[in-house]
Amino acid sequence: MRHVLVTTSVAAVVMGALVTVPVWAEPQARQEQEYVVLYEEGAAPETARAAVRAAGGRVVDENTALGFATVRTTAAGFLRRVDAASVLEGATTNQVIGALPGAAEKLARSPEKLFGTGSAPRPKRGAKGEPLSSLQWNLRQIDAHRTHRLERGDKRVLVGVMDTGVDGDHPDIAPNFNRKLSRNFTVDLPTDANGAKLDGPCSEEPDKSCKDPVDVDENEHGTHVASIIASPRNGTGVQGVAPNVTLVNLRTGQDSGYFLLKPTLDALTYAADHGIDIVNMSYYIDPWAWNCRDNPADSAEERLQQRTVIEATNRALRYAHRKGVTLIAAAGNGQADYSKELTDASSPNFAVTKGQKPRSRKIPPSCVSQPPEGDHVIAVSSTGPSKRKSYFSSYGLGYILLAAPGGDKLDTKDKKTDDKAGIWAAYPENVARENNRIDANGKPTVSYVIRQGGAYYLSLQGTSMAAPHVTGVAALIVSRFGRRNPGGGLSMDPAKVEARLRASAVPHACPVPADYTYEWFGTSGTRGTSTQKCEGTRTRNGFYGVGIVNAARAVR
């Protein structure tokens, strides 16, 4: 998951019963702002459009399948009038406007960016399978290597990667990549309202456009996720969990790694309407790590926007599920127990009004992170090489359904960082060059990048890496048990896919003691710890859900 909440901690204090009157924080004069406006379910589009106009807005785009519009306005009090309109459910901003943490801070906050030191690992000579198979402990943990003798996936199974894009030219992506079906639902945002760089100037893009092609990833995250799901067995580098299924790029994330509401809604609608069997969502929708319907710490404007994110996302998830899409998401990297009250100090992670900054607020369990806590979504926690829950992985009884390998670079004997304990997958060369991780001759300059056969591979860790393992197993299930649909593909009821994932997972008990303390040592010898409590039984608990996903059992 790209966005993480390492400042999140469990709060022991229960919120009191004090009732506060929300205050509308909309400025009285503003430049043109873009919103996603959600119609009431069942409202006639023409009636809803009239209400938008009455509130001072102008519809520039509309999704009639879900019932929402993209609206622009300069009117003061627009959100207040939307909230009062009986045929409008709510609204939220559709542009990133505000300060972002600097690159160094983002690097430090993200477990995906925890890199080891020293030289890159050397794959074992004579290893069976792909050249880098000896580094793929993750496939062995879920028995995928044995599964491939029986089932490697079917080209007719379509897997949507809702992420930052997919490098369709990478040798370990290209054979399974479908350009024709792929779509980019985002537009690059060069700067924020204060002029700070977000995705960068469009003039610096290879195509000089703010709309990237469907086969480009300028972040690395989406390509890594796609590779875990379905890198082919072609003798190039790594192999995916389902090496024969088809990858479809449904880009929802910005180059900068932020994910907005509208691309998520559009991607889910597209997946539902174009026969996508499974989607992988390794992110949460910005700017709120958790969306609350009625948090006393929020203004009336913020409450309305968060309610809109909850309702709109759930509407899209229900639509996709109803049309046969299995929905899988990463649980989050914040070491947070989603079943307990939390303190979140990271939101909003960008300002929707000038001067707005992240602030500390209490988060009761009724608040939700979208999409992982959305309707019909399978939330996945992360495991390390020893099968312990990864130190960074969020958890919670009733939240986590399945666990899967996502890496844990501190799951080592000496409790020091080791890139071998991460997940190795495809890495776009353009990103490697931009970040100076390879030199002018193409040689890797860091231990967490490997060049193999002219292509590059990166070691990452995160629940973002765990979710695609479950997605890959779901693709194997549809390949094995799905039925031919009128469009020529394979389909399977998402409820049946989930049932097989549940039944075939290997139960994993809580650690003893259940209050498990993670310990590690930094490069300077400094000690770090984190104590996290696992609740539940062997067959259903907050760390592992019903168990660790298992490919071999799933396709028997």
Tens of pLDDT, residue by residue, the chain (556 residues): 434 322 222 222 222 333 344 555 565 546 788 999 999 999 999 999 999 999 999 999 999 999 999 999 999 999 999 999 999 999 998 864 332 233 322 323 355 655 555 567 777 754 567 999 999 999 999 999 889 999 999 999 999 999 999 999 999 999 999 999 999 999 987 766 566 677 778 777 777 778 899 999 999 999 999 999 999 999 999 999 999 999 999 999 999 898 999 999 999 999 999 999 999 999 999 889 999 999 999 999 999 999 999 999 999 999 999 999 999 999 999 999 999 999 999 898 876 666 778 899 999 999 999 999 999 999 999 999 999 999 999 999 999 999 999 999 999 999 999 999 999 999 999 999 999 999 999 999 999 999 999 999 999 999 999 999 999 999 999 999 999 999 899 999 999 999 999 999 999 999 999 999 999 887 778 899 999 999 999 999 999 999 999 999 999 9
Domain count, the chain: 1
Tell me what pLDDT residue 160 has: 98
φ/ψ of 145, rounded to 5, equals -65, -35
Instruction: Tell whether 287 is covered by a domain.
Output: yes
Instruction: Tell whether 414 is covered by a domain.
Output: yes
- What angle separates helix 261-273 from helix 300-322, to the nearest 10 degrees? 10
Nearest to 56 by CA among 29, 27, 82: 82
Tell me what pLDDT residue 356 has: 72
Nearest to 184 by CA among 211, 156, 152: 211
Tell me what pLDDT residue 434 has: 92
Tell me the C-alpha distance between 466 and 262, whole Å. 25
Tell me what pLDDT residue 328 has: 98
Name the helix (H) or strand (E) containing 251. strand 246-251
Contacts of 67 (CB under 8 A, 6+ apart): 38, 39, 40, 41, 43, 45, 48, 315
Instruction: Tell whether 265 is covered by a domain.
Output: yes
Tell me what pLDDT residue 17 has: 31
Tell me what pLDDT residue 7 has: 27
Instruction: Tell whether 429 is covered by a domain.
Output: yes
Helices (H) and strands (E) in the chain, counts: 12, 23
514 neighbors 533 (Cβ within 8 angstroms): yes
Tell me the C-alpha distance between 347 and 112, whole Å. 20
Tell me what pLDDT residue 199 has: 77
Contacts of 395 (CB under 8 A, 6+ apart): 331, 336, 337, 338, 381, 389, 532, 534, 542, 543
Instruction: Tell whether 520 is covered by a domain.
Output: no
Tell me what pLDDT residue 450 has: 97
Contacts of 110 (CB under 8 A, 6+ apart): 2, 4, 333, 462
Tell me what pLDDT residue 94 has: 82
Q: What is the CA radius of gyration of the chain?
A: 22
Residue 458: domain span: 9-15+97-510+540-555
**CATH code, domain carrying 500:** 3.40.50.200
171 neighbors 236 (Cβ within 8 angstroms): yes
Instruction: Tell whether 193 is covered by a domain.
Output: yes
Tell me what pLDDT residue 26 has: 62
541 neighbors 396 (Cβ within 8 angstroms): no
Instruction: Tell whether 113 is covered by a domain.
Output: yes
Contacts of 50 (CB under 8 A, 6+ apart): none
Tell me what pLDDT residue 119 has: 65
- What angle separates helix 494-504 from helix 463-481, to the nearest 10 degrees? 110
Asked if omega into 513 is within 30° of 0 (cis), the reply is yes
Structure tokens at 40: 């009431």
pTM: 0.91
Instruction: Tell whether 22 is covered by a domain.
Output: no
